[in-house]
Amino acid sequence: MINLRFVHRLLFLTAIYIFLPPTAARGGHSDYINPGYGNFSFHGIARNLFAQEELRPSLELTRGYMTNDDLEKAMKDFTKRCSKISRLYSIGKSVNGFPLWVIEISDRPGEIEAEPAFKYIGNVHGDEPVGRELLIRLANWICDNYKKDPLAQMIVENVHLHILPSLNPDGFSIRKRNNANDVDLNRDFPDQFSPVNDDLSLRQPETRAIMTWLRDTRFTASATLHGGALVANFPWDGTEDRRKYYYGCPDDEAYRFLARIYSKSHRNMSLSKEFKEGITNGASWYPIYGGMQDWNYIYGGCFELTLEISDNKWPRAPELPTIWDYNRKSMLNLVASIVKTGVHGRIFSLDQGKPLPGLVVVKGINYTVKAHQEYADYHRLLAPGQIYEGIRLSSYHHSIIPGIQAENSKCLVR
pLDDT tens across 254-264, in order? 999 999 999 99
What does the pLDDT read at residue 60?
84
Of 278, 282, 288, give the one whose Cα is nearest residue 305.
282
Of 314, 259, 254, 319, give the one whose Cα is nearest residue 285.
259
Preceding amide of 236 cis, omega within 30 = yes
What does the pLDDT read at residue 59?
85
Least confident piece of the model among 31-40, 67-76, 94-103, 275-284? 31-40
pLDDT tens across 48-89, in order? 334 445 678 888 888 999 999 999 999 999 999 999 999 999
Sign of CA dihedral 246, 247, 252, 253: positive
Is the pLDDT score of 125 beyond 50? yes
pLDDT band at 391 (very low <50, low <70, confident <90, very high): low
- From the candidates 308, 319, 374, 389, give the one annotated as an active-site residue: 308
- Our answer to whether residue 277 is catalytic in this structure is no
The answer to whether the beta carbons of residues 241 and 217 sit under 8 Å apart is no
